[in-house]
Amino acid sequence: MAKHRRKSRDLTLWCASIVFIIQSTSQVRGAPGPSSEFRTYARVQPRVFHRNNQITTHTKINNSSHPQVLRVDLNIDGVSRTIDLRLNIDLISSGYRQVHQLDGHSKTEVPETVELCHYHGSIRGIRSSWVAVSTCRGLRGVIYTGKTLHHIHPEEDSLSSLHYLYSHSDLISNKTCGTPGVAHDFPRKKREVPWGYPKGPYNSNRDSRYVELALIADTTIYKNLDRNLNNVHHHLINLANIINALYTPLNVFVALVGVEVWTSRDEIVITTDSLRTLTNFMNYRKSKLLNKIPNDNAQLLTATRFQDGVIGKAGVGAMCTLSSSGGVIRDHSDIVGVVAATIAHEMGHNFGMHHDANYCNCPDEDCIMVSTLTSSTPTHWSSCSLEQISASFSQGLDYCLRNRPKSLFGGSTCGNGFVEPGEDCDCGSKDNCHISCCNPNTCTFRGNASCATGECCDLSTCQLKRAGVTCRIAERECDLPEFCTGTSEYCPEDIYKINGLVCRGGTAFCYEGLCKSHGDQCRILWGLSGSSSPRVCYQQNTKGSEYGDCGYNPLDSTYSPCEEVDILCGRLHCQPPDGIRFQFGADGDVTVRHAYVNSGNTFASCKTAVVDMGTRDVDPGLVPNGARCAEGKVCVDQRCISAERLLGRVDRSSSCLKNCSGNGICNSIGKCHCDEGFAPPDCRRGGTGGSEDSGPVGPSDDGETDGLAIALYLIFLGIIPVVVVFVLCYRCRRKKLKGSIWNEMFISTYVSGVQWIQRIRSYIPPEDSTTRNSDKVFTISDSIPGTRVQVIKGNLVSTTNPEVISISRSIKINESDSTVIKNQRSVVKGCGMRPNLGGIPYSAGSASGIASGGSNDLEFMCESNSEIYAAFKRLKPVRPGPSTQRDEVQISDRRAFYKKKPPPPPIL
């Protein structure tokens, strides 16, 4: 037997460090005067308003809560800016706990109220900006202008005091990474990555992740903050508020579930060895902290100086694990935003992110996971970080992050992105609301809108989709589709087939909408080549050892043995091909065991895995619920029970008990889901199918069939006959109009500036009295019917809306009311050609936007124009004719070229 322990976090990969070269500055908070960590600063006086009333000292209302909406006027880089703020009520979760030491013992409190003065927002008029500040003791936090990051800090603990505004680019200390072999020290290419302020979870709730974060402060932090618990609590909540703002663009929301302050003694040994301190803290989290403050991730803050200038250390890919989900941080700066960025960086390692390499795309000079944190602005995540966190989630690292914590602060907050009681809609803040159906200021519908969100709302019309439109497809064999009801903007509750129905060809049973056999689970853990081992391997589960069990307790490292009847429901045994590595999770704690068991003439390969999933989630290394363990029996919670017993756990309707008349199946709430052609509730009568719970099935899923039919009717009964009549009329008219000249021509193609117009007068038949006052209108085509003049495309300068260009006794090009727009795919340049106007004088000085100047030496701006068609054409004869009086021909004043306002040019 071979033993293999998969631990990818050695000193190089298991621990990631940020090393800062820090000057010996004081760690005492709130000291007057500017911070010495920045080369320069600005002294500003913010003006805070609530309902147009200026607030001078603090933002408390009636000495209790803080307003949900604030406005701040602030001078940033010499420009007066207005900042719109909303209270971040989702920052502190329900059940929030505060732990501190009293008389040598830990005391845990669950406060009914917590002072929440922490805001998120943006700079008015700058959509890519974001702000995260607190107002409890002056204005503290970070302000991102869309280009630069600023830190704001009060001179004194009051809104009325002057504040210091620091640009992050002025940070003196240079920071380097102590983890070798991760980043590359060569020039980095700046690349375009589209970024904007987070749109909020209203737009992607289904994919949002929520981190329940615990922050712990040791005795050094407590002492540095004047041994005042309130000061420490506010400092920790300030950090969490900024961390949340940094993670929101990833659709990850950080909620603070609790804080612990070591007031009299440290609960662990904290040394200058950061790795040893991290190990001690992770053991403490596992054995004690999780009982005090259940959390997904915990970070310890200390003022202790670690060796080699390390200020942060965390396990890579450890998020959600029991043994390693957390980090240790040196609280190295008086500026809260600088420390918050360090915590966000270390949590990034927990998410499976590594330091950014040279090839990573970053919209700024540096991103948050940069290995060398310089004085640049680390406010974005690089393409590598996005790929790495996405890969971690796809491999199961987000299993503890799907549940949204309930906010401690009840009621509704307009602008937080969640539709709450009393709101019609909530599309986020005003600058980030892109839904025309919802008023972001009042969270009410606009105009005659009847919806503004949800899968059953047509956002193009702001009206409910009709009943029967599919809003959630059946994703798996044991799932059922849901349909819009026509009365709600939301899709009905997710319904699936009742637990205990046979699936996957009899190898498994439906359970909670899933169908998983032993082989399916092996493929999840080992890849597509994974398969379940023979039954002889599962006999090991009766031993209750590292090679087979019915459950592992990570708190005391004990294994539970299986009863003989339950062996196929205990530890999963797989036989992947040699050389295939374990593929579940992202560098999480996984213990793999490989045994060979005699099975007659050969030895069976039995590979098991114990995966650290914390204390609240099931180890995927166990046989999944729903797997078949015997004839008519199914695995549920590592026990082998009858499928009929599982079916009986749901209170089934009489129709379900009668097998839905043979025309449907029972759903997860015990009612019939009818086949197409039969109607609920009993599937006996004719109908469209579906159930009373998942909505009615419509004649088509989304109306595409109806739309196609209407389009076909329009084409065959409307458009084609019109085209035929037009062609016939055109041919008839062409014969009648030979020799005519038209007084007005409207341009219908994309409009471009004139290069030249050349009239060959003698080639054009003279105008007679029957056509002089003609009001006929035609579109310029490739050849003008009835004449010997052909239209030729020229190389022209693109404009969007030139004024009238007229031809009379002289040719005048009127000034354009729009500017020349360069074709992005071709270079506009002088063509070196003066206009040839056929002997007709040219009136200069009014061709702005078309000619390059106003003198007789004007050069026309030309381009290849391969993308935009020219609307004004060069005219030349098709065949020669007599030309004796070309300058004596009089041109009617009414003979002119006019433009018709064109459609916008194509996006190039």
- Residues of the binding site: 345, 349, 355
Helical H segments across 351-405, by residue range: 383-394
346, 423, 767, 863: the active-site residue:
346
- Please choose, from the candidates 452, 459, 602, the residue with its C-alpha nearest in 3D space to the C-alpha of residue 534: 602
Report which of 530, 511, 539 is spatially closest to residue 628, judged by C-alpha positions.
511
- Residue in this structure with the two tokens 């590592």, named with its chain if needed: 638
Of the candidates 179, 137, 189, 488, the residue with the CA atom closest to the CA atom of residue 336? 137
Distance CA 892, CA 529 (A): 84
Cα–Cα distance for residue pair 766/251, rounded to 1 Å: 73
Query: For the chain, first and last CA: distance in Å?
Result: 65
- Tell me how far apart the alpha carbons of residues 852 and 519 are, in angstroms, rounded to a whole number: 74
Q: 29 and 147 in contact (C-beta within 8 Å)?
A: no
Q: Rounded to whole angstroms, how far apart are CA atoms 609 and 546?
A: 9
**Distance separating alpha carbons of residues 117 and 157, to the nearest angstrom:** 14
DSSP, residue by residue, 339-361: HHHHHHHHHHHHTT---B-TT--
Q: Parallel, antiparallel, or unpaired: how do β-strands 805-807 and 470-472 relate?
A: unpaired
Which among 90, 70, 78, 40 is positioned nearest to 131, based on CA atoms? 70
Residue 130's closest CA among 367, 366, 364, 379? Answer: 379
Select from 378, 389, 214, 371 the least CA-distant residue to 290: 214
- What are the backbone dihedrals phi and psi of residue 431, each rounded to the nearest 5 degrees, phi first? -70, -15
6: amino acid identity, one letter: R
Is 346 among the residues known to form the active site?
yes
Give the whole-angstrom CA distance, residue 137 versus residue 54: 16
Q: What's the rounded Cα separation, in Å, for the pair 212 and 232?
A: 19
- What is the Rg, in whole angstroms, of the alpha carbon atoms belonging to the chain? 37
| Residue 282: closest CA among 266, 300, 304 | 300
Could you count the other beta carbons within 10 Å of the beta carbon of residue 196? 13
Q: Could you tell me which of 96, 86, 94, 55 has the C-alpha nearest to residue 236?
A: 96
Tally of CA atoms within 13 A in the half-sphere of 211 that contains its CB: 31
Q: 67 CB contacts (<8 Å, ≥6 apart)? A: 50, 51, 59, 61, 87
How many alpha carbons fall within 13 Å on the CB side of residue 448?
3
Question: Residue 800 and residue 814: Cα distance in Å, rounded?
Answer: 15
Backbone angles phi, psi at 772, to 5 degrees: -60, -45
Q: What span, in angstroms and rounded, lies between the C-alpha atoms of 859 and 644?
A: 89
Q: Bridge-partner residues for 394, per DSSP? A: none
C-alpha to C-alpha distances, 82 to 138, 161, 712, nearest whole angstrom: 17, 19, 53
Smallest Cα–Cα separation from 621: which of 577, 585, 579, 578? 585
- How far is residue 510's CA from residue 517's CA, in Å, rounded to a whole number? 10
Residue ranges of the binding site for Zn(2+): 345, 349, 355
Instruction: Give the H/E segment covering residue 279.
Output: helix 274-284
Contact present, 354 and 388 (Cβ < 8 Å): yes
The full DSSP string for 254-271 is: EEEEEEEE-SSS-SS---
Find tokens 């918050």 and name the residue: 340
What distance in Å separates the CA atoms of residue 866 and residue 339, rounded to the nearest whole number?
A: 54
Supply 268's token pair.
């662990």
Q: Which two tokens stand for residue 482?
A: 């849901």
Positions marked active-site: 346
